[in-house]
Chain A
């Protein structure tokens, strides 16, 4: 039945455009219709395949027919044939009609009370008399900000000032290679490649919605508007999140703009200091800004030593990545991070399919390795913070953080009761979180004495391997320059801690790390007064900078807890890379076959989990506020107040709630009513004490105690 199949495919093709829902309906339907049609369809003679039957029932006759039964006779003379195409059309028409009808009803009916969303914090606080007092600056994080094209290669014609990142992402489907080319930065400089200018979308639209319907800042903005905020006292400090922080100033003058904007808002709003709300990577971006603005030109903004004290009331960090995220390691090492590449989550099938000739991951790796900003997210503070081969601050943590309501983990809770004996034994052998990358499960569990010590510098990067065949060579990742022997050596039964993992990355991706390490540093300062710390590469590392001299500023760390968060990985050598097929040119893979013995184990799919907000472990988001900056320390010489506010994750109760009003997930927390209320109160003039000081659910205070950093 050639017509049928052709038309159905043709139908399905078209269905790509309209909402997914319809697509699903039709798809669902047509197979069930098929059997009834097929006998007739099969009898269609081939010569008639070409003639698509014209509508033999002119519509106007419809009305007449029912009213005058006499007219039936002439009607019936016309041959009536249910062809396949008719069935398809009928089905489509039927569903469209039903869909529109439902849509119409949906729009015309009032929302029933049970489905009405609860009163938003903005409305409530407004009734309580909270109004806009301090201007608010929002600093978006990595990935969530939109990027648009200003100048491109011929393949990007017609995309001028269209979003390449954010929005519908349609261009990935239409011209994937072109898209990747335009989003990459120059491998040498970390700036624009010649002939391509991709710039951050400015204004609130930059990151209110990441994709249609997927809010980032929109809920917060709407609530702020309810208490009186608008364009003049609300600003989105959009920047190109692919660049290293200092380069955003060099290329786009983003810091200068932010400085001028804050000064302007401060003056035009009656000399009220600004509340800054950074999210995710935005918090270290803003940390960098605070240092930049007080540093003397040319490398700094020349605002003078009191600029922060004069202009800023509070910094409300949401899900801050102060000490980095282990995810960034796996992303750079094998392009396998889940969070950094949202695109993969949006179109998982696509990236694994053959569209890009099976090298999707390599493409992603090449592109993301050209983004300096990812390096800023590598774990900072080395073994002192993240633990060494034998111990880590989180060791002994149980892995059932989620509330029992969580459907995912309810089963683990049950099991934990049954296997209480086992879990006791597990506590005796705590997970060695300090080994951020371990090759093989054995290496992740061995006592440190049995792990071969490996000096990575000794492994020679033998000159270009001959076995790299041509199909691999198309996409250049730095792995192409490594020899098989050195890969094996790297992988032999070894484990890497937060400190040595940097050496590992330097070894596997020397060019990237050389480029990026001119902009970022990941250590802990011994002596903060050392003049070398005036260099901008230290500014985004809270362990290598002092906070500005502004005792009145309040530092908040708001973040979600109760979701398992990636903390360390078990890797294996990718077996296919040695074969002639060259299926993958990334030689390392997370060993997803490794699972914990018990179901409540923190080890799943080759990844050890700890408490956090799905992307950032609690220790990274909280340590500075909980300990590093608390009171007068060497990192916080003026003794500005710090507050830790945790929001326990509670998944949405039903589908109606969308992404939930009590979510603690990294991005979804921006719609958490508790968090929004806190931000609104602060913007409305409340101090940290007035909103209730610290609010801690996790054992982050205990963890911080265990970390031994000189303060």
Chain B
């Protein structure tokens, strides 16, 4: 029952105690006076007034009764309402809606052909409890992550404890088993009413898909990719399921649809499945060629996301903790004794998977002090959509000062803008970590910042500017244990020689710049992503002076530029993207590094780029919109769904119309100097 209601009865009963005595007097008086009064004034009140005692308790009860009765009545009406009613209202207001792609394509005669596999991303998959500490009694097989998040409110510390992994191993802490929910329900809705895959599933069902030819490759997204196999044998299950679906669907190859981090996960899977056992799945070198028709990556962070850096550095990323977005007020209040962020940080730092999204490729990809591929980008407002305007803007950009996107983290706005020659840096790497001066309140929540001491913090701030390369050193410095754990599972470099035998280790498999694509020339790789939304790219930090906080660094939200076209907002430099993944990360591999026969793509797998320009929902009734380009909302984008369905029904990339580009991805990719 909602809290609100429960509170009422208690106040009512309090009043009862207070009221009892005065009321009883009142009653006596009432019964004497009322008859006279009422006989004068109202006829009808006559008989009733004798037993009327409008005590406060009664009023409360009456009020509650009223509210409940109305509520139930509305609920009853709502339940009795025909299901098509909301749609009818929507159509009455906004005019007829376009047919959903499922209906449209069915009319065209498209039918289910290739089995479809979904690979959900980070955060969106549900996790449920299989074994827990005493405080989690009664939560067996209930969702800890996803759903209504009721437990976050009821027992927050217990929840944090169960969601955390072991600090040393990155696996389960002893006595706690939290496992991914399996099946399509794992990620169809993240929270009630907040769809992730549900719209796509519903549309696929229109052309004949069902459980037997759709499969949700749910995995525990907190673990590093190889650990999902070690602990849950998830990769083996995916392999077995794809083989089964291909066999039971008459040998038709599968279409894979990974989203967000699922893209990296599936990249890892493709290497794993062809690698020999025991490290790999032993599927043989032609497994992918035999079983996969196309990989349709949605919003893939191939080269990582700058957000992940901010998340690991100061727990301030917006996306990694969607929970924060759902309950922003909650996390900032006193319930955790002002240590919410620290708790979140401690929890997320036990999740190896967040490290898979640290920017990859270093300065070559993400730019150096004075240079970045996106140089000269200005955000085009929604009003000026035309290509010409954008081109003009690009030229005008020469006159205005550039944003130095390459500086992923800089301390202070001046530093972020100063020419590189003027920046004086002190190397932090050798800095001695002083004794901890952290005050007592921080002890409960152990983050690695405790071991750093003032000396270390100063050294970091004095280095001033970090590019993609040095950011990794920075993380190594501030969180050595976490990075050491992560370094066993992920790598962020660019391979010089892909044939080097060291690259057969699994830690390179999820980095597209250190692996070759499988030998499957008939396969197609799509990169589908939204554009037209400002996306975090670089941060302005400051040292946190507040004594309450245990995290010594904070995004400097005061760094702001007033101009509307500016890319600097609240301490964050933005570029084009889908709100989470910058265009460069989602598009570069398909736009350049894998295009044609390159060393990363030796068999010449065809690649296609499909961008979807963001247009926000016109009104509230549209919900999250059918033309959205945002990272998760794009899963409800009709154009994207149509593309996926056409491929699932047997189409190829050229049937869709090849590339569809709105951003400057090709120009930017050209600027990146990478040996192919």
Contact = CB atoms under 8 A, between A and B. Distances in A.
B420 interface: no
Interface string B259-278: 00000000000000000000
A43 B48 CA distance: 10
Contacts of A45: 44
B140 A97 contact: no
Contact of B212 (A90, A103, A253): A253
Give the interface centre of B10, B65, B179, B232 by most chain A CB atoms within 10 Å.
B65
B140 A222 contact: yes
Contact of A225 (B8, B47, B140): B140
B84 A97 contact: no
Nearest to A39: B47
B15 A63 contact: yes
B135 interface: no
Contact of B44 (A43, A55, A204, A226): A43
A382 B41 CA distance: 87
Interface string B178-208: 0110111100100000000000011001100
Given A97-B64, A260-B244, A44 B44 contact: yes
Contacts of B58: 90
Contacts of B12: 97
B45 A81 contact: yes
Contact of A221 (B23, B54, B141): B141
Given A66-B19, A96-B64, A230 B130 contact: yes
A202 B130 contact: no
Interface in B48-70: 48-49, 51-52, 54, 56, 58-66, 68-69
Interface residues of A, number: 78
Contacts of A263: 240
Interface stretch (A12-20, A373-381, A386-394): A12-20
Interface residues of B, number: 77
A257 B44 contact: no
B59 A59 contact: yes
Nearest to A260: B244
A104 interface: yes
B8 A14 contact: no
B385 interface: no
A93 B66 contact: yes
Contacts of B79: 17, 170, 174
Interface string B112-128: 00000000000000000
A86 B141 contact: no
Contacts of A90: 58, 61-62, 65
Contact of B183 (A197, A202, A225): A202
A267 B56 contact: no
A202 B64 contact: no
Contacts of B179: 230-231
A17 B72 contact: yes
Chain B facing A: main interface SS: helix
A82 B76 contact: no
A388 to B, nearest CB: 45
Interface stretch (A150-158, A183-191, A274-282, A589-597): A150-158
Contacts of A261: 240
Give the interface centre of A150, A205, A263 by most chain B CB atoms within 10 Å.
A150
Given A13-B76, A66-B15, A256 B244 contact: yes
A57 interface: yes
Interface string A439-476: 00000000000000000000000000000000000000
Contacts of B61: 89-90, 93-94, 97
A634 B197 CA distance: 53
A101 B232 contact: no
A44 B42 CA distance: 11
B437 interface: no
A202 B15 contact: no
A21 B321 CA distance: 40
A535 interface: no
Contacts of A231: 130, 179-180, 182, 232
A69 B54 contact: no
A253 B69 contact: no
A225 B63 CA distance: 47
B48 A82 contact: yes
Given A260-B240, A260-B244, A264-B237, A14 B69 contact: yes
B9 A101 contact: yes
A516 B30 CA distance: 79
A100 B48 contact: no
Contact of A92 (B8, B68, B237): B68
A342 interface: no
Contact of B177 (A65, A92, A230): A230
Nearest to B129: A225
Contacts of B18: 66-67
Contact of B48 (A40, A150, A225): A40
A36 interface: yes
A32 to B, nearest CB: 14
A668 B82 CA distance: 37
A318 interface: no
A225 B84 CA distance: 42
B497 to A, nearest CB: 35
A409 B244 CA distance: 53
Nearest to B237: A264
Contact of B84 (A157, A253, A268): A157
B12 to A, nearest CB: 6
Contacts of B82: 157
B337 interface: no
A65 B56 contact: yes
A72 interface: yes
A67 B5 CA distance: 24
A660 B353 CA distance: 45
A106 to B, nearest CB: 12
A94 B65 contact: yes
A214 interface: no
A93 B63 contact: yes
Contacts of B59: 55, 57, 59, 62
Contacts of A264: 236-237, 240
B116 to A, nearest CB: 14
B97 interface: no
B68 A267 contact: no
Contacts of A157: 82-84
A79 B45 contact: yes
Interface string A155-196: 001111100000000100010000000000000000000000
B36 interface: no
A417 B210 CA distance: 61
B131 interface: yes
A80 B52 contact: yes
Contacts of B205: 150-151, 160-161
Contacts of B63: 55, 59, 89, 93
A18 B72 contact: yes
Contact of A100 (B6, B33, B41): B6
A28 interface: no
A557 to B, nearest CB: 29
Interface in A609-647: none
19 contacts: A18-B72, A62-B59, A66-B18, A79-B42, A80-B52, A82-B51, A91-B65, A96-B64, A97-B61, A100-B9, A150-B211, A151-B206, A161-B201, A161-B202, A161-B205, A231-B130, A231-B182, A231-B232, A260-B243
Leading 7 A-B pairs by shortest Cβ distance:
A93-B65, A158-B83, A14-B72, A89-B65, A93-B61, A92-B65, A93-B64
Given A59-B60, A263-B240, 12 more contacts: A65-B56, A81-B52, A90-B61, A91-B65, A96-B9, A97-B61, A100-B5, A103-B1, A103-B6, A104-B10, A252-B212, A257-B244
Interface of A: 10-11, 13-18, 36, 39-40, 43-45, 55, 57, 59, 62-63, 65-67, 69, 72, 76, 79-82, 86, 88-94, 96-98, 100-101, 103-104, 150-151, 157-161, 170, 174, 197, 199-200, 202-205, 208, 221-222, 225-226, 230-232, 252-253, 256-257, 260-261, 263-264, 267-268
